[in-house]
A and B are shown apart, each in its own frame.
Chain A
Amino acid sequence: MHPAPSVIIFTTLSGLGFGLLFWLGLGFPAVTGWTAFAFFAIAYALAVGGLLASTFHLGHPERAIKAFTQWRSSWLSREACTSVAALVVMGLYGAGLVFFGERWALLGWIGAALSLLTVYTTSMIYAQMKTVPRWQTPLTPVLFLTLAITGGAILSGEVTAALVLLLLAAVVQVIWWQRGDGALAGSGTNLATATGLGKPGQVRAFEPPHTGTNYLLREFVHVVGRKHAMKLRLIALVLGYALPFALLALPFNHVFALLAVLSHLTGIAASRWLFFAEAEHVVGLYYGKR
């Protein structure tokens, strides 16, 4: 799949933003007034910034409002609905903390649940795709949710939780990669089932339908960056998990905490890049590619 920057930025930033909103909703850290304002501003900047970035890849962003209508069947529509619901509820809850110094706990819990639900709906957009075997696994929502909660813990300064979660997330990440590497072969879809020509003999793509490129090849058959996949996985592991872990394990210091956040963000962006670049869409088979 084509690793579109808008989608990578969107899933990385908004995942982190909703992760922070989750912790704020639960009352961690227990802030009010201007400190609360700062925390909420960061969370909203990440979550809303990510959502806005995602509209950049739309052909007709001006019609985006229509995406709220099909929540009965479409995960993308569900994501649109839950994200707005989460932002509204957490906005009210945040207003209570900032302007009235009051923590409306119930509202906070609802907002926290909605924030996680938003991350879940995002992950299901990918996990539902039978056409991309690497994504189609319950591990995909597990990965997105653990990453969001972990990132939120780092941002909200919940150091102990962050340390445990970083370890957990790293394990989920490695398992997700491991499983993904055999996913296409294990899916049962191959050139023989794609063409139905497996019975007479061995099928090989002889000539593509067009000599130039097209939408399908640009969008679904991204092979360029894959040869660096192993290096990038290492970078993602070190920057996303190991380094933040080390920085947070040291005696607390604001500079270290900031570095941990930045390192985590960069590592997760690299992991998200791989999430797309390594994903094989079955349509590539028709072109003799994967």
Chain B
Amino acid sequence: MTTLPEKTDRKLGLVIDLDTCVGCHACVVSCKGWNTENYGAPLSDQDPYGADPTGTFLNRVHSYEVQPEEGAAQLIHFPKSCLHCEDAPCVTVCPTGASYKRTEDGIVLVNETDCIGCGLCAWACPYGAREMDAAEGVMKKCTLCVDRIYNDNLPEVDQVPACVRTCPAGARHFGDLGDPDSEVSQLVAERGGMDLMPEQGTKPVNQYLPPRPKDELDRTAAPEDSEIDVLAPYLNPVADSPKGFLGWLDKTLEKL
């Protein structure tokens, strides 16, 4: 059924910390690695070693430059996968019932044996979270590693999505965003987690933590009351032109 559930028992999802993500793409690789050999059709590549490679990925990392009014620009790495939206437009447009949102945990999945590969769900997703596999002709998307998180054959530490398990920077968190006491919900509350494209009305479950302000590298002098100020005078350059031997060398060479 492609009508959305009124409410889901839990809202499993990811919290992605844009402050700590270093843009290593490890989550992209581990995602592809796990999902190409588990749930559903493999994630194919076309011309992988040729001149024009392309392929299916469920998670991709963009990089953005943010230029504040004053000061240096910041580089923000931006991982993006399905946000398991509460009001998922990708589900309601599906003509076959292949796309659905689970009542028990809110995960949005594709039943690949029902999918006709019409692509409409990918049209409806504002985030580019769905990709049609060119070899299989069915729609692929993040499953939140539904085959890991409930998999008792895995050690407990591995019962999280592959991207979360892999991230070397601890930038990815997994949990129940429907429970206000969960660690992820606390993190979102504390750090001011945000929805992507809130105006699209999709009510994404996944949340993004905004980058924190960085050191101001181009600041000319430390403010009066900052700790740095005590030592700063000692670090100021003492002379503009070289003295002593270097000064002599400079002058002599100048004369030559």
A residues near B, CB below 8 A?
1, 57-61, 63-64, 66-70, 72-77, 80, 125, 128-132, 187-189, 191, 193-197, 199-210, 212-216, 219-220, 281-283, 286-287
Contact = CB atoms under 8 A, between A and B. Distances in A.
Given A67-B116, A76-B120, A209 B66 contact: no
Contacts of B124: 129-131
Q: Is the interface of B mostly helix, strand, loop or mixed?
A: loop
What 8 A-B pairs have minimum CB-CB distances, sorted nearest first? A59-B117, A59-B137, A201-B68, A209-B60, A77-B95, A283-B128, A76-B95, A66-B96
Given A60-B116, A131-B126, A131-B200, A67 B57 contact: no
14 contacts: A59-B115, A67-B96, A69-B97, A70-B97, A74-B92, A129-B124, A197-B211, A201-B66, A201-B69, A203-B65, A204-B66, A206-B75, A212-B52, A215-B131
Contacts of B92: 73-74
A58 B97 CA distance: 15
B53 A212 contact: yes
A200 B64 contact: no
A188 B198 CA distance: 10
A60 B3 CA distance: 22
B210 A199 contact: yes
Contacts of A70: 1-2, 94-97
A42 to B, nearest CB: 28
B62 A129 contact: no
A211 B227 CA distance: 44
Contacts of B54: 212-215
B117 A131 contact: no
Contacts of B196: 193-196
Contacts, number: 198
A287 B139 CA distance: 21
Contacts of B149: none
Interface residues of B, number: 70
B123 A130 contact: no
B81 to A, nearest CB: 11
B168 interface: no
Nearest to B113: A63
Contact of A74 (B2, B55, B74, B122): B2
B64 to A, nearest CB: 5
A200 B18 CA distance: 13
A206 B126 contact: no
Most buried by A among B120, B128, B132: B128
Given A73-B92, A189-B199, A196 B68 contact: no
B78 interface: yes
A189 B127 contact: no
Nearest to B25: A209
Contacts of A75: 93
B95 A286 contact: no
B76 interface: yes
A167 B229 CA distance: 76
B129 to A, nearest CB: 9
A58 B199 contact: no
B172 to A, nearest CB: 16
B134 A215 contact: yes
B65 A204 contact: yes
Given A74-B120, A205-B62, A283-B125, 12 more contacts: A60-B137, A66-B98, A72-B1, A72-B3, A73-B94, A129-B123, A195-B196, A201-B67, A206-B63, A206-B64, A207-B63, A209-B62
Contacts of A77: 95-96
Given A59-B136, A73-B2, A209 B61 contact: yes
B5 interface: no
